[in-house]
Amino acid sequence: MPRNTFKKIGWFFVSVLPAFLSLTLQFGAAMLIALVISLAVSFSGYQAGMSQAETAQ
């Protein structure tokens, strides 16, 4: 295969690489928010399905 073709294939991958960076950001942001919510929930002592009085006990 000519060297120029390898170069073009290389540039193709380089040009679509930011798309995968964007996808990583997407999942990273989702994970970060999930982490913040779970930390907030665990520190507040809230339990799903329980009233405030039950949670306080």
Residues of this chain that interact with other proteins (CB under 8 A) are 8, 11-12, 14-16, 18-23, 25-26, 28-30, 32-33, 37
- Of 29 and 39, CB closest to other proteins: 29
Q: Which two structure tokens, joined as six digits, stand for 25? A: 């950001």
Whether the Cβ atoms of residue 55 and residue 45 lie closer than 8 Å to each other: yes
- In the bound complex, what is the minimum distance in angstroms from residue 40's beta carbon to other proteins? 11
- In the bound complex, what is the minimum distance in angstroms from residue 2's beta carbon to other proteins? 14
Q: Which two structure tokens, joined as six digits, stand for 45? A: 């002592």
- Of 12 and 47, CB closest to other proteins: 12
Listed in sequence order, the residues at least 6 apart from 55 whose beta carbon sits closer than 8 Å to its beta carbon are 45, 46, 47
